[in-house]
Each structure stands twice: as structure tokens, then as C-alpha cells.
Structure 1
Amino acid sequence: MKQMAPVPRQKPLLPELTPQAELALLCRLLYAEGYDDHIAGHISSKQADGSLLVNPWELAWDELGASDIVRVDQQGKVIEGHWNVTPAINLHLEIHALRPDVGVIIHNHSRFGTVWANAQRVPPVYDQTSAQVNGELLLFDEYNSAVNAASEGEKCARGLGQAKWALLANHGVLVVANDIRQAHLRALTLEWRCRQAWHVEALGGGRAIRDEVVEQFGGMVDGNGFPFLWEAMARKEIRRDPAVLE
């Protein structure tokens, strides 16, 4: 009997990453997608012990590395790290308290997401990539003050309900997810959707994908994850700047 050749062992798609390195990579990748309003914006990643890893207030998302990530307790007090935490940490604390299913929260003033938030309109879904995530894109249609105000943070948290994402009128975007990989997919899909819709409408408009098709396709992709997408984009950033892991 002819002996079969052994199946070659696949190489790991990514090196083993610490939670801090994952968060630093997420910040870098989303900056490249348009989440680049100077030093604005914050991401939290809930850990098994209940603490949160958060990007530092002082650094832009494209420059930080794993060692810059800050850890805070359930009251928002820094317990690990050399930087300060955003004054808007209350938004994260409120959402994490109300939504035990949420592992990652993203808030920023993304380039095209903020255009639609300022217009107080929800962008249609015009293409397949924009349909990678299903579910209603909420619009909070009033802006009273920054989300670091206790009343506004609580209002956003309660207004989000069980939704995955929202546009904050005259402000920016809010995305929640189970983990880093899902957060990456949802945040990049939101900005892609907003960008593509802006371009289509600049041409005079187009025919949006039917809601039931978006729901079916988005449920499949968002529910199962986009295979290899997070890994490919993370490898790209590591090649560009290996210091992100330090």
C-alpha cells in the first residue's frame, strides 16, 4: 500500500498575543480605517477578573504599543500602567454594567461615521462589505454635552439597549462587541458603510441592498466571524511596526 504524504502543519496566523497587544493592534488598525480624530476616542476590553484594559488618554491610536495600555478597576481607577485614562471612562463602565455580554466598547469620531452622525441620518447599505454586520444602526438624535458627563454617559448606555452600534448625533460613533475580533469587524464595517454611502449619494444616489438580504448576510458574517480578516490586518500592522507588540 502506498504511504500517503503527511499533511503539512499550518503555521500560526499570528504570534501569541497578550490582551494588551491585541488592544494596541485594534487601535492601530482602526486608526487606519478612519478612526483618527487626533487623540480623541477610547476602547475598553473587559478581562476575566472584571478589570478593563483601556487605551491611554495622552496617545494617538496610531502610536501606542502594548506597554502603553492602561488597566482600570470597576470604578475606573488606574491600577496598572504609566498613563492616564480618558475622563469618558464612565461611558464604558455604564455599558459594561448594563451589558454583561459586551467585552469590548469603542467610541471615536470616525471620519465618515461622524459625517452621517452630524447629518443625523443612518447610511443605507449599498454593497456587500457594508452588509457584513446586521442589526439596526441606532441614531441618538440629540447632543447635550460630551460623553464624559455622567448624565450623558448613562443616557448613551441605556439608549444603546441591546444594539451593536450607534451614531451619536453631532458627535461620533459607538460600537460594542463580544471580543476584539468582533469589535474590529463591526467598527471597520461601520466606517466602510458610511464612506461608501457618502460616495454613492454624492453621485446622486443608488439602490440599497434589501433589508432581508443584509440581515441574512450580516447574521452569517458577524455571527461566525470573518475568517482570517483580523489576523491578516494584524500581521500587516506588525510588519509595518513590530514595536506595537512591545
Structure 2
Amino acid sequence: MELLHVNIEQAGYDEQESVIQGVSFTLEAGQLVGLIGPNGAGKSTTIKAILGLIKKAAGEIRFGGPQGTYAYIPEHPILYEELTLWEHLELAAAAYGLTEELFRERAEELLTRFKLIGSKHHLTTSFSKGMQQKVMLILGFLTKPDVYIVDEPFIGLDPKATKELLDSLNDERQRGAAILMSTHVLDTAERICSSFVLLDAGRVVAKGDLEAIRQSCGKPEATLFECFHTLT
């Protein structure tokens, strides 16, 4: 089942110049697609275009699935200074119409998984960068959407938190969700992603599974890291 269809003809921030052109791909249920490329390649612009945050954009973005819902987990935490962790979760639950029973069940499970259960009534301004990133992950997983759009999720996470994230992503894939993940951690991406979209200078230079990426760079035994440096 197709959960996200992306066909960005062009998008940018200036009327005279497009940052990305001809970026197209799809996400199917259960897929984890890695959006990779060097700094300035257009990854952030692609994500913003998908989210409808760029006025100068042409093309088509279509969400599918049973609910047609998505969650965006940004690279930098966006939190309210005056709210506790639990209040952030309550706000998200109210916005998405979760029942009290379902909210509490999911919230307690996620807080336990990410080792924040003891801090649920603390202000998030007192949290470390890694803890704040965990909050963003919990907020994303709380609503169980059809599609996750995750931007550089490993920044600030320690090895245990990284494992919890990977386990959670795998659980959501098993449920049938699709995930688009922008990352520079190529060894992890090679291990967990089912396919890739490789951007350079605002265009797709290769896409598909690792075998397809290897064919694009002409190196049948290359790692994703080696393909990245050949193609960009």
C-alpha cells in the first residue's frame, strides 16, 4: 500500500531560484526509506516541501493509508518552556483526539521505553539535549500515524536511546507504517533502511535498495558510504 507519494517538480525559497528539482519517490507500508546526501543537497528543503512549509513549490504530495496521518520529528527539539513532559504529551493527545485510556497506555509505555518515566512531571527546559530529543521521539510515536518523517534522529542520543529508537521504528514498520528518515549516519542507514533516495545539488542522483544504489555508482560490492562519496 502506498502511504506517501512525492513528486516535487521544483521548490525553493526565492522566486528566481529552485533549491530542488525533479525529486520523486514513494513510500510503501512497512518501508524505511533513507533520505541521504551531503550538506546543502536539498534534504531539508525536500522535507519542508512534503510538509507544505514552502510557498514556492510545484508538484504533488499525497498521503495515503487508513488514516492519511503523519508525524514529523525534527532534528532540533521544539518544546514549550512552561510545560512539563507530561503536559506536552497531554497536549499532543488532545490535538489528535486520543482517548484518556489510550493516551495513558501509550504514554506510560513510551516513557518507560525511553527511560523518562521518572521525569514526566519535570519541565523539559531542565532536560539535556538527548532527553529533549527523546521527548520529540515520544511525541511522534504517541499518535501512531501512517507515515513518519524523521530528520536526523540520532543526534544527541546515547547508544541505549539509539537502540530504543531503532526498536520503536521496527515496531512501527511491523504495524504497517512507513518511515522517511534523513540521516548522515550511513552505516546505520545501510543496516536498517529498505531503500534510499540519494540527493546531490537538489536532484535525485540515485534511488532504490542498496543493490540499485551500487549499480548507479558502478560498484557492485560497495558500501553505502562508498556509494555516497562516488555519487556526490
TM-score, normalising length: structure 2:
0.28
User: Going by fraction, where is strand more abundant, 1 or 2?
Assistant: 2
Which structure has the higher relative contact order (CA within 8 Å, separation 6+)? Answer: 2
TM-score, normalising length: structure 1:
0.27
